[in-house]
Amino acid sequence: MEILKEIILKLYDKEKIKEILKEGLEDINDIDLEEGDELVLEGLSIESEDIGFRLSPKAISQLPRLMPSAPAEEVEIEEYEPALKEWENQIQEVPMGATSSDGGTRKKVVKLGGEKCMPFYPDDDNPNMPIVTFDTFDSKIHLPGVISKHYEDVMGSPGEWAKKSVEEYGAKMVTIHLTSTDPKGADTPPKEATKSVEEVLEAVDVPLVIGGSGNPDKDPAVLEAAAEAAEGERCLLASATLDLDWERIADAAMEYNHNVLAWTTIDINLQKELDRKLMNYGVDRDRIVMDPTTAALGYGIEYSYSIMQRIRMAGLEGDEELDFPISNGVTNAWGAREAWM
């Protein structure tokens, strides 16, 4: 109560207080309040300019003091230097295609391999970028709509198909699959099938990959005939495997100046065995390309990829049976059920 009286006395003079006091009260000190009583001041207004504050020295001493901010510290950022690995070996470089100076008719030679380190690693500079070869077929085949819609006007004409791939889509290499030679299909004779190879060679001037139908009994004869038809062009004959007469394909490659695709089924030991046999048979190292199989389904992409990774690392570390370029038949994905959905 005493505090309240003190506040009122400081805000208003005695005359003003007297005006607002009830009759019978001369002074604010005449107000006698007991505990629990209520004091109501009617007609009393407090203006903002009438209000003032006073802080006791004790209160001021308890206010937190603002510490001066520390000067900004300059942090020196060290230059990042990745840990580099020095590999012992370089992957064999394999030229694809032969120009006129080499006895062929290709406009440009495409080089595969030559890697000095693993892909995307800063250990060294790899000299050659991966190459995408576009597929063509010597007969009409069933393809998913997302693919066939781009080639409907050229299916059935290997030369026009290859030409469209090069001129419209920028293909640097073309693969001609002689699928019509399959004994379970049209069973086209090898000599007749080579007409498609000649047609593609005339239509485009990029290096070629020549594949059979995948029939192990007939493919050696088909690739022999195709190698002769494309003599001197340094094509890639696909494929030599341990399940067929690979010696005939190796002979055709050496006689007619071609390269050999060594295809195995996701097994490092089988890949080493086939590569070793080809080299011992007389195939030059700069004519061998490996295909360890790309299997996104079945085994799984992780398993397939890990095999390729181990092959490449072994080659870079000095394994001369595995230091060849790697080819992936990724268009096998067209045969998956999901591609048709």
Whole-Å CA distances, 298 to 163, 294, 301: 35, 10, 9
Beta-sheet pairing, 110-113 with 133-137 = unpaired
Instruction: Please report the domains of the chain, with CATH numbers, ordered by start residue.
Output: 2-56 (no CATH), 93-340 (3.20.20.20)
d(CA 85, CA 97): 33
Give long-range contacts, CB 8 A cutoff, 24+ apart: 124-127: 124/87, 127/93
pLDDT of residue 324: 99
Query: Residue 1's pLDDT is what?
Result: 52
DSSP 75: P
In this structure, the strands spanning 110-113 and 93-96 are antiparallel
Q: Is the dihedral of CA 166, 229, 141, 296 positive or negative?
A: negative
- Rounded Cα distance between 174 and 36, Å, is 103
- What is the pLDDT tens value at each position of the chain, 341 positions in all? 555 555 555 555 556 555 555 555 555 565 665 666 666 666 556 666 655 656 566 555 555 666 777 888 888 888 888 889 999 999 999 999 999 999 999 999 999 999 999 998 999 999 999 999 999 999 988 889 888 999 999 998 999 999 999 999 999 999 999 999 999 999 999 999 999 999 999 999 999 999 999 999 999 999 999 999 999 999 999 999 999 999 999 999 999 999 999 999 999 999 999 999 999 999 999 999 999 988 765 567 788 889 999 999 999 999 999 999 999 988 888 877 888 87
pLDDT given for residue 82 in this prediction:
85
Residue 48: predicted pLDDT: 61
Cα angle 8, 9, 15 (rounded to 5 degrees) comes to 105
231 φ/ψ angles, rounded to the nearest 5 degrees: -55, 135
- Give the list of residues 6+ apart from residue 123 with CB closer than 8 angstroms, or none: 84, 85, 86, 87, 116, 117
The whole-model pTM stands at 0.76
By three-state DSSP, how is residue 233 classified? Answer: coil
